[in-house]
Amino acid sequence: MTESEHAEIVRDEDAGRLRIGIDRPVARKFYTDMSISSIEAETGEAPYFEKLLVFTCFIGGPIALLATIVFSVIYFHWWSVAIVPILVFLWVAYYAASPVGGSGAGFITLVLAVAVALHIFNPFGWSSTLFFVCAALAFWFGRVLYTVSTFFLRAFVIRNHRAFNLLADTIAIKRA
């Protein structure tokens, strides 16, 4: 696709005549699997900030889940034998639902905000609130990973003609 054709698609998208769609798993893989140097070689741009944020979410989820498991053992003692498998199952299921197009981050962001507020005001003790903050954070990272990577990649292909060409096979254009 030429630069002028790309510019026309971008104008049509700005005018609301079409929508440019990016597949969430493709967006996540773009930022987690491709190196900055290969992205720059292919597109002429190096999205350092975007890659850092997506990679932080990518590794933050498992780290927060591990911290949740530790706080489960500290706070719930032997009950953690039952809590940890349930928590891991729920995290994997929630993470697996995150690439689905309609899954948003609004609810889990609210849950995270409530958990952080409980931790700040600390009515139950440090370990119990840290358990809930880390659990909410683990789920939040899993959802935001796909939301943010899709947002960034969509903006990238709109502003960068070479990125659009690189990902043309995975871009969905829907006429309004």
Quote the pLDDT of residue 111. Answer: 95
What are the extents of the domains in the chain? 3-175
Q: What is the 3-state secondary structure (H, E, C) of the chain?
A: CCHHHHHHHHHHHHCCCEEEEECHHHHHHHHHHCCHHHHHHHHCCCCHHHHHHHHHHHHHHHHHHHHHHHHHHHHHHHHHHHHHHHHHHHHHHHHHHCCCCCCCCHHHHHHHHHHHHHHHHCCCCHHHHHHHHHHHHHHHHHHHHHHHHHHHHHHHHHHCHHHHHHCHHHEEEEEC
Quote the pLDDT of residue 59. Answer: 97
At 101, the pLDDT band (50, 70, 90 cuts) reads confident
Summarised one tens digit per residue, pLDDT across range 33-66 is 999 999 999 999 999 999 999 999 999 999 999 9
Whether this model's pTM surpasses 0.75: yes
Summarised one tens digit per residue, pLDDT across range 78-98 is 999 999 999 999 999 999 999
Quote the pLDDT of residue 5. Answer: 84
CA angle 139, 145, 147 (to 5 degrees): 105
Summarised one tens digit per residue, pLDDT across range 138-172 is 999 999 999 999 999 999 999 998 999 899 888 88
- Stretch 109-132: mean pLDDT, rounded? 84
